[in-house]
Amino acid sequence: SVTGKPCVCDKNIGPGKGQPVTQKRKRTCSPHAHTPTCSDSFMDEVLHIVQMLDHCYEDLITFSHKKSSESMYSCMFYCWLFGYVCCHLQVELHVHLDGAIRIETIMDVAKRRGIQLPKATVEEMTELCTMSKPSTLTEFLGKFNEFMPVIAGDREAIKRIAYEFVETKAKEKVVYVEVRYSPHFLANSNVEPIPWEQNEGDVTPDDVVNLVNQGLKEGEKAFKTKARSILCCMRHMPSWSNDVVELCKKYRNDGVVAIDLAGDEALECIAQSGHLAAYEEASRCGIHRTVHAGEVGPSSVVKEAVEVLKAERIGHGYHTLEDEALYKQLLEQNMHFEMCPVSSILTGGCDPDYTKHPLIRFKKDKANFSLNTDDPAVLNSTLHKDYEKAKKYMGFTEEDFMQLNLNAAKSCFLPEKEKKDLLNQLYEDYGMVNDTSF
């Protein structure tokens, strides 16, 4: 249907497997969801989608000019993928606010604040601040040194990046997102040491949370994407963790839904009593808990997160597979894993060959997981790129994408009433209002 009206199609690309769209799965289709023809109108639609997603694929462009059979099949794949990403709502649970800042915003704020940047153009700053090939977590974290001093300690900038974050997620068809950050990393007062070699100012960690909440709320109102936040403790700074849990308690009814622990997994939490005390307090007060574990560290870090910190979700968790008993235990517990495929490759957490990614095993075993971007700006990536890798190299189907988004909704940290509403929104969008197969 080139009009976008509801239709029944027997030539779905990808997950439909040649079967008609039944009443159960009936939905509004767009031209890019079906088998393409070499017509100008079709290519106009394709190129419009590419332009809208701000991501141009060589195969699509090759096909638009040469219409070769090989590039046509690649084009068919991308059109199906774009059809899913453009047409279906998604949920994202693992994305860092400070890893999702627009380069243009960094340059704009630097100009306003009179800060000299090491590069003069957007293209040069993008190259400096982003990863282009698999490397190490250390190199990845080093990228933040290039731009965080520009944003940290500036009230207008902190609120702005939160607002723009929601705008970006709305464009990606994300209906609900939980964004995480360290309040201390964006502050320049009441924090020791003051990060990013800033001079002392007047923006406290409490101020940061308030500013981010304002930006998220205004973004939600403007773009209709619900956004909540998770506050991060940092493994190398256990002295900050008590502040973090207290901020979680203070703002638990004003946008903050959980506590997280991020940073160097080589630092054991048992030895860092500040983290353990913060998580015990969070558990006592009913604050939700997630932990970065098994990203680059061993399975023992995942076990510690679950057994010591009482984590309800695991950030990444790829190396859980090293301990088969632990993995089976977490499968039985329906533990949710916040998976980030593109990030896991570029930060050196996983084998650079996507066809060997741990996510394939998690999928095979019907584990509870979601797909997420982690730090899209630093990775120069988008959510649909994570979906692309999962589809192209790991055999994900449209049904798999729907299931993982339902898993994400069920495992999110919203109150039960809001979680139920979110699930109903997804069921309706997926054409499963009365469907119990998922």
Residues classed as catalytic: 295
Residue 431's CB is within 10 A of a number of other CB atoms, namely 18
Closest by Cα among 171, 156, 153 to 108: 156
Closest by Cα among 208, 294, 296, 302 to 255: 208
Instruction: Note if the bond before 193 is cis, omega within 30 degrees.
Output: yes
Beta strand 174-181 pairing with 90-96:
parallel
Under 8 Å between Cβ of 300 and 331: no
Under 8 Å between Cβ of 118 and 126: no
Q: How far apart are the first and last CA of the chain?
A: 28
The span from the CA of 288 to the CA of 274, in Å, is 17
Token readout for 189 is 């007062």
Q: Give me the sign of the Cα torsion angle 393, 90, 48, 343.
A: negative
The span from the CA of 235 to the CA of 252, in Å, is 22
